[in-house]
Amino acid sequence: MKLKEAHPSKLSDRNERAEAKLARIARANTYFGGASALVIAARMVRMGSAIDAEGIVGDIYSASNGSLGEHGAYECPECGSVHLGTQRALACCAEPDFDA
């Protein structure tokens, strides 16, 4: 099932919005060149940010397949609510497996 990417501003948590926004900048760097995401991540580390900015940028740069993975904002395929990461978006309305 293909998930629909959402704009980071639709996330409710401030740190999640920052993470998704930084991931989108890093993805743009992989497509069009540049290192602005590295500069932003270094600044966030110096400011004492709660998110692992350098790890996010490293994940996106190393994947370089266009996917934001667990750092992007995605809509739940059933209800349309926005979550950070593909796993959370898929698990939103999924029925629990009680057979296990």
* Predicted local confidence at residue 97, as pLDDT: 64
Three-class DSSP category at 5: strand
> What's this model's pTM, rounded to 2 decimal places?
0.87
Low-confidence ranges of the chain (pLDDT < 50): none
Across the strands, what pairs with 84?
73
- Domain boundaries in the chain? 8-91
* Predicted local confidence at residue 66, as pLDDT: 82
* Predicted local confidence at residue 47, as pLDDT: 94
Please state whether beta strands 82-84 and 73-75 pair in parallel, antiparallel, or not at all (unpaired): antiparallel
Element (H, E) at 60: helix 53-63
* Predicted local confidence at residue 67, as pLDDT: 84
* Predicted local confidence at residue 64, as pLDDT: 72
Q: Look at residues 46, 53, 47 and name the one whose alpha carbon lies nearest to residue 21.
A: 53
